[in-house]
A = this chain, B = another copy of it.
Amino acid sequence: MHILIIGAAGMVGRKLTEALVRSGEVGGKPIARLTLADVVAAAAPKTEAAVETLALDLSAPGAAASLVGKRPDLIFHLAAIVSGEAEADFEKGYRINLDGTRDLLEAIRREGQTAPYLPRLVFTSSIAVFGAPFPDAIDDEFFSTPLTSYGTQKAIGELLLNDYSRKGFVDGVGIRLPTIVVRPGKPNLAASGFFSNILREPLSGKEAVLPVSRDVRHWFASPRAAVGFLLHAATLDSAALGWRRTVSAPGLSATVGEEIEALRRIAGDKAVKLIREEADPTIVRIVAGWPRNFDTRRALALGFVAERSMDEIIRAHVEDELGGKIGG
């Protein structure tokens, strides 16, 4: 089969590519061809499949059509301008997150007009489609009232995915990903970065700053679980979704304090002492507007699987990123 990944150079895209190359198949079908697209060319993996890496802007005229014209059987659409940037650059956010997604859906619909074509499209949505105030746990029927342009663009993407699927133009499956911890790499400026920083840095013997109080609760899954969601979305029977094609992925609701205690169990007091508490009122305010917990019985019934403890999430990081070695 031919797989297209749009947004292949990002963290999740890279890990998805690695997982695909490792297994060599999806749902029992061997991967013959892999097209990796992003605004910057992704690294080409070593594999027996034919690999093409493309640097392109999905919203540029003809870009989506050129990707879809090769008729991939399975498309992962992971490309997005992230929340902070979409809020700061209104036009860019709408251009990539809304127009890019719509261009892709339109390209698939038009390709289907030339000869029958119904690829599975896996779309990453976000818990940012929900806006405060929240119930204790956001269930599968909670209404979508985004409070950011990014959340608005993702909510529109979900509506389009439903309608194009209902009309028989695409076989879409959307997933609202939890916040990914432990995010590998260096600390970045994303408001959510500290959730990973306070684990990743101490695990390598480095200091990290905690800008909020320990009772802050949030919704997490590991990069390994996120890749698992995407692969499951690629193969599940989409008829079970009806015309509500996007599900909130399962995850772990945990407090910062629970993150720290799990770190202590796995890496000891020495690691925990590397966390410096330094309140940042801006981050405190932003985080207060984020979901804390979900009731994802729909995704669980569909077979999506996430970690059940923060210990599990940290161990996945130690295995996948640190070669099993703690302490830097």
Instruction: Note all chain B residues with C-beta closer than 8 A to A253.
Output: none
With an 8 Å Cβ cutoff, the count of chain A residues facing the other chain is 21
- Which residues from 144 to 169 on chain A have a C-beta closer than 8 Å to any C-beta of chain B? 144-147, 149, 152, 155-156, 159-160, 162-163, 166-167
Roughly how many angstroms separate A121 CA and B178 CA in the complex, as a whole number? 35
* CB <8 Å contact, B160 and A152: yes
Roughly how many angstroms separate A159 CA and B150 CA in the complex, as a whole number? 11
User: Given the known A-B contacts A155-B159, A156-B156, A159-B156, are A90 and B149 also in contact in the complex, defined by CB atoms under 8 Å?
Assistant: no
Roughly how many angstroms separate A166 CA and B166 CA in the complex, as a whole number? 31
**Pick from B145, B146, B152, B243: contact of A147, CB under 8 Å:** B243
**Pick from B152, B162, B167: contact of A145, CB under 8 Å:** B162
Binary per-residue interface labels of chain A (17-33) against chain B in the complex, 1 for a CB within 8 Å, 0 otherwise? 00000000000000000
* CB <8 Å contact, A145 and B90: no
* CB <8 Å contact, A243 and B162: no
**Pick from B145, B146, B163: contact of A149, CB under 8 Å:** B163
Binary per-residue interface labels of chain A (235-246) against chain B in the complex, 1 for a CB within 8 Å, 0 otherwise? 000000001100
Residues of A that sit less than 8 Å from B by CB? 90, 131, 141-147, 149, 152, 155-156, 159-160, 162-163, 166-167, 243-244
